[in-house]
């Protein structure tokens, strides 16, 4: 027997009992009508509209049979009695409808309030989630427990995993992933299943499927909280990686600093000894060549140690810039005069747009950048081809460039060659190097709030650029 029917039967029994007692006690029509109206309102409030409607029909029948003449017959002779019964029925139905509507609103308010309370509890637990662990398993457990859901599934696109909790059929193991792939958000009231796409600022990050007595509005809020949790986990992972990289850089800088200092003393000794042997003379040709080789390599190792120490200081931001306004043309001339580049000196062309052009920089670091650019151009340029050094004012910056024709740099390597120890694959074996020089160049430029880059094409050649804030212009 359905709930509506047995509740209606109970109400009919009460109506019949009141009708019997009213008839025995000879209660007047006004009193019994008021009692019936109260019963109809009570049934509407506690049971529902249809139960109240059936109860009101039973009440009208009892009034007609026992209280309106002719008695014990379902027949109304007085039109006023007909109006009274119709008025009673209409009043009962209207009040039942209003009462049922109010009852439904109250239940919905309680349902939504309960949902909001559970959402608050979920949000508190979400803030305490372990961000070192994947968010999916934690979220589905919280939703399943707090909302008493029949089943919950979440697909995390970033981690490529799906997590489930509750009762899922064999063919629903990848339900949330299919939902994400189909990009469909919907509510199936027959199975009480809600599907939502998890959206973040960067776009869809997954999907959430909830099965159970949960309001669609609450499911929307659950999807937002799940998306936020996934975003927080991603942000935490990025911060962890950045922190690990920073610690790694600090450790490498400390190792390089220590290594450079440890090598300085024996290298100085070796260089002094080799230079002394060459100065003393009396060596055979083979002995002289060997001593010269030792001296040259000691110089090269000493330069390498200097770059290691400089890199460590730049990365640790322990180097103090001695900035001053340096004339660009004079600086280029000093660099060319101090470097042993006899084999390329006759190929170098210098073009400074303004002889009075100055730059605000640490002269020593700027000279080191230009030296590295010129050395690279000499090593990688085609034999006999020109090497062009140019400088010009561009807005509020001075742009210095070193151009050469020769081997080109692949597009995928043009940024990475400024990373420490990185060397392009097609150059590793053909030209000797350590992959340190250009990384020091970038660090030195960043210390000046400038930047470096390279442009390389087969027909146009390769050009390394340095851009630094300009200093004051002086007149000549």
- Give tens-digit pLDDT for 310-326: 665 565 555 556 778 88
Whole-number pLDDT of residue 408: 85
Residue 87 has pLDDT above 70, yes or no: no
- Output the pLDDT for position 402: 93
Cβ-in-10-Å burial (0-12, 13-18, 19+) of 379 comes to middle
The average pLDDT across 403-426 equals 81
Least trusted range by pLDDT, from 9-13, 156-160, 302-306: 302-306
Q: What is the mean pLDDT of residues 136-153?
A: 90
More confident call, 28 vs 88: 28
Cβ neighbours of residue 216 closer than 8 Å, sequence gap 6 or more: 187, 194
The structure tokens 């209606």 sit at 8
**pLDDT for residue 465 is more than 90:** yes
Distance (Å, whole) CA 207 – CA 161: 11
User: Which of 43-57, 123-137, 144-158 is the most confident on average?
Assistant: 144-158
Residue 155 confidence (pLDDT): 94
Predicted model pTM: 0.46
What pLDDT does residue 475 have?
Answer: 37
Is the pLDDT assigned to residue 206 strictly greater than 80?
Answer: yes
Indicate the average pLDDT of the chain.
Answer: 79
Q: Which pLDDT band, with edges at 50, 70 and 90, does 474 fall under?
A: very low
For residue 322 the two structure tokens come to 């001695």
Residue 344 backbone dihedrals phi, psi, to 5 degrees: -120, -5
Per the CB < 8 A criterion, the answer to whether 367 and 374 are in contact is no
Highest mean pLDDT among 15-24, 56-65, 74-83, 345-354: 345-354
Q: Find the helix packing angle between 216-280 and 135-146, rounded to 10°.
A: 160
Residue found under tokens 């109304």: 76
SS (H, E, C) 210-250: EECCCCHHHHHHHHHHHHHHHHHHHHHHHHHHHHHHHHHHH
Asked which of 149-153, 241-245, 399-403 is least confident by mean pLDDT, the reply is 241-245
pLDDT band at 34 (very low <50, low <70, confident <90, very high): confident
| Range of lowest pLDDT (74-78, 112-116, 450-454) | 74-78
Q: What is the pLDDT of residue 153?
A: 94
Calpha distance 250→257 (Å, rounded): 10
pLDDT tens digits for range 217-246? 888 888 998 999 999 888 888 888 877 777
Out of 192-196, 267-271, 302-306, 330-334, the most confident range is 192-196
Q: Please choose, from the candidates 185, 140, 132, the residue with its C-alpha nearest in 3D space to the C-alpha of residue 163.
A: 140
Q: Check pLDDT > 70 for residue 1.
A: no
State the pLDDT at residue 152. Answer: 94
284 preceded by a cis bond (ω within 30 of 0) = no
Top-confidence residue, 77 or 386:
386
pLDDT above 90: residue 210: yes
**What is the phi/psi pair of residue 471, to 5°?**
-95, -165
Contact 156/205 with Cβ under 8 angstroms?
Answer: yes
pLDDT tens-place string over residues 66-80: 777 777 776 666 565
Helices (H), 281-346: 285-315, 328-338, 342-345
pLDDT for 412: 83
**Cβ neighbours for 220, distance < 8 A, ≥ 6 positions apart:** 196
DSSP secondary structure letter of residue 319: P
Average pLDDT over residues 362-368: 84
> Residue 371's pLDDT band (boundaries 50, 70, 90)?
confident
- Beta-strand ranges (E) seen in 6-45 are none
pLDDT tier for residue 88 given thresholds of 50, 70 and 90: low
Hey, what are 232's tokens? 């927080």
Q: For every residue of 374-412, which 3-state class applies, written as one string?
A: HHHHHHHECCCCCEEEEEEEECCEEEEEEEECECCCCHH
Question: What's the whole-number mean pLDDT along residues 98-119?
Answer: 69
Q: 92 or 367, which is more confident?
A: 367
């Amino acid at each position: 027997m359905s709930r509506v029917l047995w509740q209606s039967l109970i109400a009919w029994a009460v109506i019949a009992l009141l009708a019997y007692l009213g008839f025995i006690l000879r209660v007047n029509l006004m009193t019994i009508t008021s009692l019936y109206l109260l019963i109809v309102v009570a049934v509407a409030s506690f049971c529902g509209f249809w139960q109240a409607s059936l109860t009101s029909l039973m009440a009208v029948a009892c009034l007609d049979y026992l209280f309106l003449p002719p008695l014990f017959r379902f027949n109304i002779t007085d039109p006023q009695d007909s109006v009274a019964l119709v008025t009673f029925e209409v009043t009962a139905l209207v009040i039942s409808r209003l009462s049922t509507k109010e009852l439904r609103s109250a239940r919905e308010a309680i349902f939504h309030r309960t949902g909001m309370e559970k959402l608050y509890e979920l949000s508190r637990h979400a803030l305490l989630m372990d961000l070192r662990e994947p968010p999916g398993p934690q979220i589905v457990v919280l939703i399943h427990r707090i909302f008493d859901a029949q089943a919950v599934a979440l697909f995390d696109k970033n981690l490529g995993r799906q997590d489930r909790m509750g009762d899922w059929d064999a063919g629903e193991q990848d339900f949330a992933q299919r939902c994400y792939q189909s990009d469909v958000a919907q509510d199936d009231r027959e199975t009480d299943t809600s599907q939502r796409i998890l959206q973040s600022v960067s776009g869809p990050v997954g999907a959430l499927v909830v099965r159970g007595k949960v309001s669609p509005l609450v499911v929307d809020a659950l999807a937002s909280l799940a998306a936020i949790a996934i975003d927080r986990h991603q942000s935490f992972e990025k911060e962890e990686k950045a922190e690990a990289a920073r610690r790694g850089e600090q450790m490498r800088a400390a190792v390089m600093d220590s290594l450079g200092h440890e090598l300085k003393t024996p290298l100085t000794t070796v260089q002094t000894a080799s230079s002394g042997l060459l100065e003393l003379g009396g060596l055979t040709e083979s002995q002289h060549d060997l001593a010269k080789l030792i001296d040259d390599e000691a110089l090269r190792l000493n330069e390498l140690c200097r770059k290691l120490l400089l890199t460590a200081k730049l990365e640790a931001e322990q180097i103090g810039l001695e900035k001053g306004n340096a004339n660009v043309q004079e600086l280029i001339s000093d660099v060319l005069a101090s470097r042993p580049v006899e084999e390329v000196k006759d190929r170098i062309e210098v073009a400074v747009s303004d002889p009075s052009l100055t730059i605000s920089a640490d002269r020593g670091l700027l000279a080191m950048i230009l030296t590295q650019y010129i050395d690279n151009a000499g090593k990688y340029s085609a034999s006999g081809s020109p090497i062009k050094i140019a400088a010009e004012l561009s807005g509020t910056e001075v742009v210095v460039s070193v151009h050469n024709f020769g081997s080109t740099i692949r597009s995928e390597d043009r940024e990475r060659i400024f990373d420490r120890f990185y060397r392009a694959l097609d150059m590793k074996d053909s030209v000797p190097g350590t992959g340190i020089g250009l990384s020091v160049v970038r660090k030195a430029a960043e210390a000046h709030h400038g930047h470096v880059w390279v442009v390389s094409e087969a027909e146009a050649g390769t050009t390394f650029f340095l851009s630094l804030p300009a200093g004051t212009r002086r007149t000549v």
